[in-house]
Structure 1
């Protein structure tokens, strides 16, 4: 039973590759979590949710935990990360459609 939020911030994970199936996406989420915990010394993955190229939603910190993603805004919004690097290419339509839900 989700409560409405006033703002959602969309990130991308900067992983070099998109994930296309559940195994690849789970591995990508684990890499991001390891980077956030081991490299940044955060208590968990920074994002509330991550969206995979397989059309699945992966839970990061979840709905009720404050994320670590957008300096000064972490307690005011929910962060959704698109798994992959979208600096020079657009995310797949399937992923964008999932983000709108």
Structure 2
């Protein structure tokens, strides 16, 4: 159930590949995974999928923005790692335009 939920949620939403990457990066940002744990691709996909499936939060961007405002140094380090981790973990996914 890992890749399917992320694909279903974001395939129709993404207007470009970068937007899909940004959306999945925001979800990963809000998980408890840490760069120090050096999670593999499957762990990243599972964490993203589980958070999406939990419906705890419907919009992850405000949470990411809050951290960016309160802790800019932490934000930059974490979001950079999230984008790299998501790029690797979801490399096989393609995000098609919603139109």
Normalised by the size of structure 2, how large is the TM-score?
0.29
Higher RCO structure (Cα 8 Å, ≥6 apart): 2
Bigger share in helix: 2
Normalised by the size of structure 1, how large is the TM-score?
0.28
